[in-house]
Every structure is written in structure tokens, then in C-alpha cells.
Amino acid sequence: MKKYTIMEAIEKGMQEVEFYGWVHRERGSNKFKFINLRDSSGIIQCVFNREDFSDDKWEDIDKLLIESSLKIVGKLVEDKRSEVGYEIQVSDFEIFNRADIFPITKDQSPEFLADNRHLWIRSRKMIAIMKVRSTYVQARDEFFRNEKFYRFDTPILQPSQSEGGSTLFEVNYYDSKTYLAQTWQLYGEAAIFALEKVYDMGPTFRAEKSKTSRHLSEFWMAEMEAAWFDLYDAIDFAKKELKYCIGKVIENNSKELEFLGQNVEKLKEMLNREWPTIKYREALKVLKEKSGMEVEFGKDLRTVEEEKLMEYFETPVAVTHYPKEVMAFYKPSDKDNKDEALCFDMLAPSGYGEIVGGSQRDLDIEEMSKRLLADGEDLENYQWYFDLRRYGSVMHSGYGVGIERVIRWICNLENIKDAIAFPRTMLRFKP
Ligand code: 4AD
Ligand code: MG
């Protein structure tokens, strides 16, 4: 087993080291060979002096191509010009695999990189993103444990829609049909009567018939559901969750964020600010007064409108009370304004759009039935869900965070596809 990564050895102040990794770059002359060795922690330059090796060994190392795997033994010496502050003077090495000519070279088309995604995830860009994502997701788990939530796992194969039939993926299930989960929520709601506060994160599926930079067909939604929470409790909690997780990313991955072109100071400052909550009707007013954009009440906000609106904010904003008639069946009416739903979307600044969606939950079986029937649904499929309203119903609320949406935003990524290692979109499900 490998003992220390490159960065661990440097941090420990070790001198004689043994590193295991891959050739990131190589160049050489007849006197020296330089290999940039990459492991999961970083990249270090390894210097081979011709004089220190037999002809055979020199031949071995001289012909080594990038992405070959090897062990390197040597001495760490300070090198001010190097990114990690050190280089290695190599005394010995062992090659595990001589790589073929690596297909990925500079300036490849996005299509080519997508076809070779299994190799492209070794790039510095993808490594940085995957590290941020890992920190984010681990921090989220920590957050919910600290808040005394129970982790609750639910089925991916589900009998019906919950977020609209048009984006369902149908799956043959023996002699009948099921659908891939569009959300964890309905089962999360069942769990609050046993556990009160639950959370989870899982693969989520939407047959989005659009090729935008913010939609995936398979993405990871991080959801929570809590008994006794009203809409505003859920919104405050979502802000707290995001601030906590982003704070942890800044703490652990500033280097990666900077590499990706994110302004870490600005991000940090944003965490200390109050994130506003406004009503949809106020958002329409802002759009009209500040940019002359007329949006009539009764429609969801389109991407252009979200982008325009967010030009006037420097932090995420929670927009509440969207028009009831265009919302999912489980979002209740506000009792004072029946045309508004007790729901919210959190929008990220700088044009990254919706990152969180949530609501208080409707407790009225009749209201929900009306809506489901209008959508052509078979009420039989929802009787189990209505039971939750028949046996000890209580006020409850929850929300879902789109993990790739958040990662895209904090990593400053042009396209959501890079926020996940193996993206699934309308046009691609390979490799
Ligand atoms: O707003 P959505 O559709 O809300 C729900 O599904 C609720 N049932 C969640 C809940 O209340 N428990 O989706 C939640 C979030 C969105 O805000 C967005 O960030 C992300 O999931 N999302 C997508 N991310 C990538 N690709 C897609 N096609 C997405 N659709 C939604
Ligand atoms: Mg939404």
C-alpha cells in the first residue's frame, strides 16, 4: 500500500520519499530527464540525472510516455519556482505500466473530450472540480448530522410522476411500467411521520428535452424534508446549508477554486451577507422598473428573466410565491392570495440561475386531486401519498438542491456537464 501522497510528504517535511503516481508531463535531454509526477494530491517535478542510472534503466525512463504509472524513490529538495515548492532528485524508480500514446493532447474538441471522458477526468480542471464536489457533498452530510437529521434512502423506481409527466423516464418493470425518480420528496414526506427531520442525496432523472448549459438528464439532488417547518423555516435552512457547505469548500479547496477562475474573496464575502428573500410579484416589479421587462403574473420565470433579475443582486436570492397554477401539485396556495403558492426557488448570482427548489407541502387532498386530475393523472397512484394526510397530518416543508447547479456556480463553469464526472444529457449517455 502507498504510504504518503506527494503533499502529505511535503507537509511532513520528509526528505527521503517514495511516490506512486502517473506521468503528467515529460521532457528531457541526453543528460537529464524531467517527469512531472501526478498523484491525487498534486504534481511534482522529478529530476533524473543520466549519471545516476545504468544504460538499461536510462533507456526505460527515457522512453516513458505520459500517463504511464510508476514509483519514484528520491530526495525532496526545495525549488522556489515549483508550484509545490519542491522537486525530487530521483535515485530509483519502478514502472508499473508503460502507457500507449495518450489520445488527449492540447486543443481537443469538446466532442472528443466527451468521448474520452474516462481519460479526461484526469485533467487538472476535472480533478479540481471533483475535489470541490467531494468536499461539498461531505460537508453537507456533516451539516445535516450536526442538525440532528436522519439520513433516509428512497426508491429510484417509482410508480408515478411528481414533477410533471413530460420529463419522465419510463422503465420496463417485469410486466408493468415504472419511472425513474424525479425527486425523493414524496417518500421523504412519508418518513417525517416517523423521523421528523430527514435528508438524502441521490441520482435524479429528468428527460429534459432541452440542450441548455444547466440541464442534465441524470443529476444528483440533495433533498431535505422536515415536520413542523413552514415555508420560511425551509428557506432559512436552505441558506444555512448552502453557506455551511460553501464555507467548507473555501476552507479546503481555495487552491482549486482559484485554479478554476473563481474569486475566492468575493465568494467568502458573500457568505457573510444576508441573502434576500423576495416574492415573485416583487421580482416582477424589479424586472419592470429596472429593466423595462414586462412579465405577466401566471408564468414561471424564464432563463432570460432570471438572468436579468439577478443582475440586481450579488448574493443568492430566494424568490417565493410563484403562481400557483404553474407549480407542481404538492405546492399549496397561500391562504391570503390563492393564486400564489407557498414555494420558493433560490437563484444564484452571475447568471447561474435556479439552484434550489422547495415548498411548504399541501395538506388538502381535494386540492391536490383536482390538480392531478387536470394533469391526466390516475389518482389511484397517489392514494398512499394521500394517506400521509389522513393519518396524523402535520405542517411540513422541504427542498431540493441541484448539486451540479451549485458546483457549476461555485466552480465558475460554463456548462453544467463539467460539474459531474460522467454527464448524461439528451445527446449523450456514453462512456
Ligand atoms: O425545482 P425542482 O424540480 O424541485 C423538486 O424536484 C422538489 N421535489 C424538491 C423538493 O422540494 N424536495 O428540483 C430541485 C433542484 C432545482 O432547483 C435544480 O437545482 C435541480 O434540482 N434540477 C436540475 N439540475 C440539473 N439538471 C436538471 N435537469 C435539473 N432539474 C432540476
Ligand atoms: Mg424548480
What does the pLDDT read at residue 299?
Answer: 84
User: What CATH topology corresponds to 115-419?
Assistant: BirA Bifunctional Protein; domain 2 (3.30.930)
- Residue range 353-381: average pLDDT? 96
Distance 405 CA to ligand 1 centre (A): 9
**Mean predicted lDDT score pLDDT of the chain:** 96
The set of residues, in sequence order, having a beta carbon less than 8 Å from that of 221 and lying 6+ positions away, is 183, 184, 201, 202, 204, 400, 401, 402, 403
CATH superfamily of the domain spanning 6-97: Nucleic acid-binding proteins (2.40.50.140)
Distance 388 CA to ligand 1 centre (A): 23
Phi, psi at 206, each rounded to 5°: -140, 125
Q: How many CB atoms lie within 10 A of CB 302?
A: 10
CB of 21 sitting under 6 A from ligand 1: no
Residue indicated by cell numbers 502507457 = 99
Q: What distances in angstroms separate CA 316 from CA 36, 225, 286, 295, one per listed residue?
A: 40, 21, 16, 21
pLDDT grade for 1, boundaries at 50, 70 and 90: confident
Residues 137 and 333: their CA atoms lie apart, in Å, by 33
- Residue range 114-119: average pLDDT? 97
pTM for the model stands at 0.96
Q: What is the pLDDT of residues 260-295, one digit of tens each?
A: 999 999 999 999 999 999 999 999 999 999 999 999
Q: What is the pLDDT of residues 222-245, one digit of tens each?
A: 999 999 999 999 999 999 999 999
**Parts of the chain belonging to CATH 3.30.930.10:** 115-419
- Residue range 113-131: average pLDDT? 97
CB of 316 sitting under 6 A from ligand 1: no
CB of 227 sitting under 6 A from ligand 1: no
Write the residue with the smallest CA distance to atom 1 of ligand 1: 357
Distance 179 CA to ligand 2 centre (A): 19
**String of DSSP letters for 98-114:** -----S--SS--HHHHH
CB of 355 sitting under 6 A from ligand 1: yes
The grid coordinates listed for 80 are 522556489
pLDDT grade for 32, boundaries at 50, 70 and 90: very high
pLDDT at 165 over 90: no
CB of 179 sitting under 6 A from ligand 1: no
Residues 273 and 152: their CA atoms lie apart, in Å, by 32
**Parts of the chain belonging to CATH 2.40.50.140:** 6-97
Q: What is the pLDDT of residues 168-191, one digit of tens each?
A: 999 999 999 999 999 999 999 999
CB 122 within 8 A of CB 46: no
